[in-house]
């Protein structure tokens, strides 16, 4: 399937002023996503949120989005919970499992804060957090991981793709190894859902999460948590509310619903969920496989062009086959903030920071890095413009 870049760019008002190369942080929403949200908000403002027929229609639409979300990642709708961000999804799992003193959790040394600190906090319960060191290409060596797992290991939690290296981990193989060892797996797919095809049944993971605001190009405040159906009732929700709970008032008792909706305690963030549904439709219309292939081409081209810059240091896997889009770099003698600020002054948006991946900063003896992360709506010409601007700083 060929991507109609002209049509896509017509759906992006931002392109009148900017070249946007920062999807790893959050993407620019296409106009149909904005329209889905504003249509609901305008209707709600016109008739109020609780006209019975409108409320019924709204909640039916939420369930349609739940079904779309499930199909997108190869799950059942009963396995999908809506969450406002990926961080909360991690906490629903880390806080909901039953832990015993001495249990171990393995995370990679490339994780950012939200898939590191929630597991670190479990040390207060006697859980031991173990940090697995990735290889020189920021990749998991499966043989070494197998030796790292012990009979006490209960969970391996890892990012499918690192936000500060661009390394794509062998997720299926990690999950297969974990399954053989009777270890649970959680995949942080914030940087891959909407960018590459995802099938949780093929991956055979136990938990998977993603926010909607990155590669799906959905709104802020949207996201999904997948929980394998057999595990749903083993997780105790860390929040309780009318959306997730059955209340037996007369007997002074309560129980949680038996689907992943037990992780939706209160009123859903309706505009964001409807926007997420529109974003999924938009991605499906283009085709996730087509998106993946286009971004692979852009990544290869970006790396080639960056290497023409004097003094550049590119972080992440050396083999382009092991990385996608996310391309962190520094230029000797120029601060990453100066790079991003200069580009912004000329209408090109990238980002500089630690990306809360402190272990990667420490590993490279740096305080910050700049980062490109093109998506399918970007072009080779836009990359050329960005590279030319950086060269002006030399």
The pLDDT value given to residue 394:
77
Residue 129 φ/ψ, nearest 5 degrees:
-90, 125
| Number of helical H runs and strand E runs in the chain | 13, 15
What residues pair up with 227 in beta bridges, in sequence order?
Answer: 207
Q: What average pLDDT is seen over the chain?
A: 97
At 38-77, the pLDDT tens digits run: 999 999 999 999 999 999 999 999 999 999 999 999 999 9
The distance from CA 218 to its chain's CA centroid, rounded to whole angstroms, is 11
Residue 116 φ/ψ, nearest 5 degrees:
-130, -55
DSSP 48-106: -TT-HHHHHHHHHHHHHHHHHHHHHHT--GGGEEE-SSHHHHHHHHHHHS---TT-EEE
At 342-391, the pLDDT tens digits run: 999 999 999 999 999 999 999 999 999 999 999 999 999 999 999 999 99
At 168-205, the pLDDT tens digits run: 999 999 999 999 999 999 999 999 999 999 999 999 99
Ordered structural domains, the chain, with CATH? 5-30+287-392 (3.90.1150.10), 36-284 (3.40.640.10)
Flag whether pLDDT at 1 surpasses 90: no
CA dihedral sign, ordered 16, 21, 24, 30 = positive
At 270-302, the pLDDT tens digits run: 999 999 999 999 999 999 999 999 999 999 999
């Amino acid at each position: 399937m060929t991507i109609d870049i002209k049509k896509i760019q017509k759906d992006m008002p931002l392109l009148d002023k900017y070249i946007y190369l920062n999807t790893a942080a959050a993407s620019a929403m296409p106009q149909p996503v904005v329209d889905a949200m504003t249509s609901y908000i305008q209707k709600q403002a016109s008739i109020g949120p609780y006209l019975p027929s409108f409320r019924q229609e709204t909640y039916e639409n939420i369930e349609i989005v739940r079904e779309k979300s499930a199909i997108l990642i190869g799950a059942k709708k009963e396995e999908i919970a809506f969450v406002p961000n990926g961080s909360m999804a991690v906490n629903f799992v880390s806080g909901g499992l039953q832990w015993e003193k001495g249990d171990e959790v393995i995370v990679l040394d490339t994780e950012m804060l939200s898939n590191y600190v929630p597991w670190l906090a479990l040390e207060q319960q006697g859980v031991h957090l173990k940090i697995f060191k990735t290889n020189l290409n920021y990749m998991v060596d499966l043989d070494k991981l197998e030796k790292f797992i012990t009979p006490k290991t209960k969970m391996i939690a890892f990012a499918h793709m690192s936000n500060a290296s661009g390394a794509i981990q062998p997720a299926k193989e990690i999950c297969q190894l974990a399954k053989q060892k009777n270890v649970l797996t959680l995949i942080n797919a914030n940087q891959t859902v909407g960018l590459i095809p995802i099938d949780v049944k093929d991956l055979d993971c136990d938990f998977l999460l993603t926010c909607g605001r990155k590669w799906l190009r959905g709104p802020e405040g949207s996201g999904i948590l997948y929980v394998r159906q057999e595990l749903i009732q083993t997780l105790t929700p860390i929040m309780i509310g009318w959306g997730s709970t059955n209340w037996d008032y007369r007997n002074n008792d309560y129980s949680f619903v038996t689907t992943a909706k037990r992780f939706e305690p209160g009123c859903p963030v309706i505009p964001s969920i409807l926007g997420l549904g529109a974003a999924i439709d938009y991605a499906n219309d283009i085709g996730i496989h087509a998106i993946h292939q286009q971004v692979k081409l852009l990544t290869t081209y970006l790396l080639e062009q960056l290497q023409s810059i004097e003094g550049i240091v590119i972080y992440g896997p050396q083999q382009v086959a092991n990385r996608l889009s996310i391309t962190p770099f520094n230029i000797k003698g120029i601060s990453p903030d100066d790079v991003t600020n200069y580009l912004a002054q000329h209408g090109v948006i990238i980002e500089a920071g630690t990306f809360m991946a402190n272990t990667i900063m420490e590993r490279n003896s740096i305080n910050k890095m700049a980062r490109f992360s093109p998506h399918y709506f970007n072009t080779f010409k836009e990359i050329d413009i960005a590279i030319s601007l950086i060269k002006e700083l030399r």
